Structure 1
Amino acid sequence: MSVVGVDLTAEFCDAATELSRWVGLSDKTKFQQGDALNLAFDDCEFDAAITVHVAMNIENKMRMYEEARRILSAGGTFAVYDILRGAGEDILYPVPWARDPSISHLATPDEMETLLADAGFEIVRVIDSTEDSLQWLEARTAQTGAAKPLPVTTELLFGPEFREMTQNQLRGLKERRILTVSYICKA
C-alpha cells in the first residue's frame, strides 16, 4: 500500500515528506503540490481518499468532491473530516483556517450531505466529533508553561495570532458556531 498526499502549498508537501522520512515511511508516501479542484490523477486511480480540514477554505466544494469521486474506483472509500458551520452565531475571527471571513467557506451539515450525494457518493456514516474536539482543545489550552517548549509548534506555524485563533475556535466549538464532522462514503 502507498499513500499520495496533495497540498496547494509546496512547503507543506516538503514538510510532509520530511515527517514521513523521520518516521520511516518515505518509501510508502509521496507528496505533491496540487489543486484539489483539478487533481493530476487518472480516473479511478485510487481505492480510497481522505480529506482532513480541507474544504473549509474551498469555496467550490462541489468541484472538489467531483474530483475526489473521479479519481476513486467504483466502490472506493472516501472519508472527509472537516470543520462545518454550526447553528450558533457567526464565527469569530481569526481562527486557524482563516484570519478573516474572506477565505472561510464552511458548509453546514445539510449542505455537506447534499454536496457529497450530488458528487456521486453514498454516505455510509456520519460522525459528529464536536464534543470530542471541544474536550481535546480545552485540555490542550489548559496546559500551562510547566511543559518544556517544543522546537516546532502550531504557534510557530500560525504566528502571533495563534492564541486568539485557538480561543475563537474553542468558543466556536462550545457555542456550536462550528462543528467537527466526519463522513465515510462509498464511490
Structure 2
Amino acid sequence: MKRVRVAIHKLEKLIVMNSDKKISAHYHHGNLLTAIQAGLERQGIKPENASVEDLGPVDEFHIGGRAASIHFLDQLKISPSQTILDIGCGLGGSARFAAKTYGARIAGIDLTPEYVEVGQQLCDWVGLSDSIKLRQGSALSLPFEDASFDGAFMMHVGMNIEDKHTLISEVSRVLKSGAKFGIYDIMKGNDEELVYPVPWATTSETSWVAEPKDYRMALEANGFVVAEDNNRHDFAMEFFKKMKAESEAAGGPPPLGLHVLMQHSTAEKIPNMVANLAAGRISPIEIIAIKDP
C-alpha cells in the first residue's frame, strides 16, 4: 500500500508540474520588457522617468485595472509597518501600487519567469526595488516560513489553480493570526460552459473557475472567517464598455494596455470575456477573509 501511495503522490506531482508549465507558457510573451518600453516611449516617457501611474494600464492584469485595485486593496487596511504577500503577482503592478500607496513591504510570487524578471525591472524603474521583491514559484508550495506575513492578496489567480484547498492552506500557513487575506477572482455565475479563449486560458484544460461557495468552504476549512463578499459584475461590464468606447474614439488601443500582454489574441479573448460576463457565466468577486486568531 505504501508503494501505491508513493506512486499516486508522484503522479499527482507530475500532473501539477505539467499544468504549471502550460499555465506559465500561456502567459509567456517573449519580448515583454521591450514592448512596455516602446509603449512608454510612444508617450514620450523614458523608462527611468516612468511612474507607477504610467505603468498601471499594462501591469495590472485583472478586470478593472487600477480602479479595481483601489477598491479591493483599500479594504485590507494595509499599513506601512506591514509585510504583505502578493500571490500570482504577475508583473507586480498591484504590488507597486500597494507599496507606493500604503507604504508596506511587498513580496510577490508568480509562476511565469518572464513576468517576475520584467516586474522586478519595472520596480527598478519606479524606485521601489527596496520595498518589493518578486520571485518565481508556485502558490501551492509557497517558499516562505510559517506566519511570516501580516496580510496577503491575490487578483485573478484562482482561475488557474484547480486545488483551491491547498492554495488557501498555504496562504493560511504563511499568514499571522488575525491577518487579512483578499481574493479578487473571476468566479462562476451559472452552470453554462465558458467560451474560450479568455485572458487566463486558451482552453478549459488550464481553467478552473469555481463558485464563490467553493472559495468560502476552502477558507473556512483553513482557519479563515469571511468578512466581505462583493460581486463586481456591473463594474466589470461598465469597465469593458468604457474601454471599447475609448478605443473606438482614439482609433485603436492606447500605447500601453492589456493588449500588450495578450498580443494578437486580444481581439478574441476580450470579446469572449465580455460575452461570458454578459451571459452571467462569470463575475469578478471580491472576498475579504481574516485568519482566525
* TM-score bucket (shorter structure): over 0.9
| Cα deviation digits, residues 99-138 of structure 1 (max 9, x gap) | 1110010011111211111122110111111110111011
**1:63-87 CA distance string (max 9 Å, x none):** 0100000000010110011000111
- More deviation in 151-160 or 66-75? 151-160
Match status 1:71 vs 2:174? yes
Query: Where does residue 159 of structure 1 map in the other structure?
Result: 263
Distance 2:125 2:281 in 1: 37
Structure 1: gaps of 5 or more residues: none
Structure number having the greater strand percentage: 1
Say which one has the larger Rg.
2
**Equivalent residue number for residue 173 of structure 1:** 277
Deviations 1:13-54 (A, max 9, x none): 112212222322221100000110000100000010001111
Give the 5 Å matches for 1:1-187: 1-87=104-190, 89-143=192-246, 144=248, 146=250, 150-187=254-291
1:120-176 per-residue CA deviation (whole Å, 9 max, x = no partner) reads 211011111111011101111222162675554422321322111100111111111
Greater share of helix: 2
Indicate conservation of the 8 Å contact 1:84/1:108, yes or no.
yes
One-letter code aligned to 1:160: H
**Contact 1:84 / 1:106 at 8 angstroms: preserved in 2?**
yes
The residue type paired with residue 184 of structure 1 is I
Structure number with higher relative contact order (C-alpha < 8 Å, ≥ 6 residues apart): 1
Using the size of structure 1 for normalisation, the TM-score is 0.94
Q: Percent identity?
A: 34
From the superposition, tell whether residues 169 and 148 of structure 1 become closer, same or farther in structure 2 (CA, over 3 Å). closer
1:181 Cα shift?
Answer: 0.4
* Structure 2 residues not aligned, in runs of 5+: 1-103
Q: Note the C-alpha offset of 1:90.
A: 1.6
Deviation at 1:88, TM superposition (A): 5.5
Number of paired residues? Answer: 187
Q: Which moved more, 1:151-160 or 1:104-113?
A: 151-160
Q: Kindly report the root-mean-square deviation, in angstroms, between the aligned alpha carbons of the 2 structures.
A: 1.6
Decide which moves more: 62-71 or 166-175. Answer: 166-175
Change (3 A) 1:30 1:111: same
Aligned-partner Cα distance in 2 for 1:163–1:120: 42
Contact map agreement 1:93 1:165 (CA 8 A) in 2? yes
Describe the shift of the 1:50–1:98 C-alpha distance in structure 2 as closer, same or farther (beyond 3 A). Answer: same
